[in-house]
Structure 1
Amino acid sequence: MYGKMIAVTNHSLCRGREIEKGENGRESRTEIPAFMPGTDTWIRYLAQIRRIVSARPRAIVLREKDLSSELYKCLAYQVREICRGAGQELIVNTAPDIAHELGTVRIHIPMSVLRSTGRPSWVEWTGTSIHSVEEVKEAIELGADYLFAGNIYETDCKKGLPGRGLEFLRQVCNESTVPVYAIGGVNEKRLPQILETGAAGGCMMSGFMRM
């Protein structure tokens, strides 16, 4: 089943927590803030990537939007080695210069970037995220090899934003000539109904980062 899934990373979902007891004896949990090379949180994250790789998803998108360019590059090098060792596909998110430096020919970039700079000439597999049926044709004409369509279900990542639903996903799939992956609230239980719309699979973040 995981072979139909693309794993999307988010380091905040697998970071450890320190447990402290206050004067009243109650436990309080505080996130360990550091996410830097060599820290416990960094090591824990790489261990989680190894667990994800062992599940054999379709690919791994290294998302991590809140990291600096230098920190993202450092992380990408280490994740690339884990993926290479397991024969797993790694997709760099939003950073074509880093992808090129890593020798990675798969990249996921926002529609806004695809519109402004186009598809990098050296890339073999380019994906983008669409949020309307009208964007499907435009994304493909701009060179997208696959699409993330969402958000399909309500998700904690976008609190308060209603899911667009399976009918929206079906319309996107009917319009698209490239593989479509559902994103937003996707999990293993929902995958069968996602596949029934004609989608190639789903993208899962929380399920993979907390497995």
Structure 2
Amino acid sequence: MLICVTDRRLCPAEDFLPRIERLAAAKPYAVMLREKDLDPPAYARLARQVKDICDRHGVLLIGHQNPTVAEQMAITHLQLPLPALRAYRRRGPLLIGASVHSAAEAEEAQSLGAAYLVAGHIFATDSKKGVPPKGLPFLRQICQAVNLPVYAIGGISASNAPAVLECGAAGFCVLSAAMTCPDPAAFVRAFDRLR
């Protein structure tokens, strides 16, 4: 299952919402609105626009780092870094995903009530320049350490995605390619063929 992760700074401002529209129309599993530089009011404004697009196409919207915004907008899924999950006090029916970087973190996130995990980075990626990737053995270790769906992130492409699935991952999160590919629909379709 493909989760398209956003970073509007990677594409021209006028292309961001049309790009989300084209991605959502091609039906990935979800769009994760990961705009870490925005304060809560600005994030909420953008989230409303992206949620309208996702709702129109029947695609899940995953919020990021903003529990209050997610609760106010009835977003059902929220991605948190592990330190934020440790501090989070559940106030509603949100399904929380956690970002993890070791088996110990994966086990902790599971014990804290995470519903799914995002693990990485698996392959070399421009968004983590100079940081060595953790690789497929790491991903396999995470998948074996928990009884949760694990989504791999970092340098995932349609060509290396089968190896990710062979490690036991439920799917993949793709940021840079989702934001920069010339044809968003073809990008999503390339992952669809892996189902």
Q: TM-score, normalised by structure 1?
A: 0.83
Matched, 1:88 2:59: yes
1:5 to 2, 8, 25: 2
User: 1:207: which partner in 2?
Assistant: 177
User: 1:163: which partner in 2?
Assistant: 133
User: 1:66: which partner in 2?
Assistant: 37
User: 2:164: which partner in 1?
Assistant: 194
By how many angstroms is 1:137 displaced?
1.3
Check whether the contact 1:149–1:172 (CA below 8 A) recurs between aligned residues.
yes
Distance 1:135 1:103 in 2: 28
Distance 2:153 2:25 in 1: 21
2:150 to 166, 170, 180: 180
Compare CA radii of gyration and give the structure with the larger one: 1
SS at match of 2:98: strand
Percent sequence identity over matched residues?
Answer: 43
Indicate the RMSD between aligned Cα atoms, in angstroms: 1.1
* RCO higher in structure (CA 8 A, sep ≥6): 2
Structure 2 unaligned segments of length 5 or more: list them: 182-195
User: 1:115: which partner in 2?
Assistant: 86
Check whether the contact 1:107–1:123 (CA below 8 A) recurs between aligned residues.
no
By how many angstroms is 1:197 displaced?
0.4
User: 2:187: which partner in 1?
Assistant: none
Letter in 1 for 2:103: V
Judging by fraction of residues, say which structure has more helix.
2
By how many angstroms is 1:68 displaced?
2.2
Structure 1 unaligned segments of length 5 or more: list them: 16-40
Distance 1:109 1:94 in 2: 5
1:153 to 123, 129, 139: 123
